[in-house]
């Protein structure tokens, strides 16, 4: 639970990290599926 005020910059930074992590996860899944398909 968040308390107090959250600065817009913190939100942008957090969203950026989240997006980056999701992008990496998506790429990892694509690579994994390629490896499984070629097996």
pLDDT in tens, 1-39: 666 777 899 999 999 999 999 999 999 999 888 887 776
Rounded to whole angstroms, how far apart are CA atoms 36 and 6?
43
So what's the pLDDT on residue 5?
Answer: 79
Kindly state whether residue 11 falls inside one of the protein's structural domains. Answer: yes
Rounded to whole angstroms, how far apart are CA atoms 15 and 27?
18
So what's the pLDDT on residue 1?
Answer: 64
Kindly state whether residue 21 falls inside one of the protein's structural domains. Answer: yes
Please name the residue that has the structure tokens 């994994």: 32
Q: Which structural domain range is residue 16 located in?
A: 7-39
Kindly state whether residue 34 falls inside one of the protein's structural domains. Answer: yes
How many structural domains are present in the chain?
A: 1
Kindly state whether residue 28 falls inside one of the protein's structural domains. Answer: yes
Cα 19–chain centre separation: 4
Rounded to whole angstroms, how far apart are CA atoms 35 and 19?
24
């Amino acid at each position: 639970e968040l308390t107090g005020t959250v600065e817009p910059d913190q939100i942008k930074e957090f969203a950026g990290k989240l997006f980056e992590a999701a992008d990496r996860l998506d790429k990892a899944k694509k690579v994994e599926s390629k490896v499984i398909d070629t097996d």
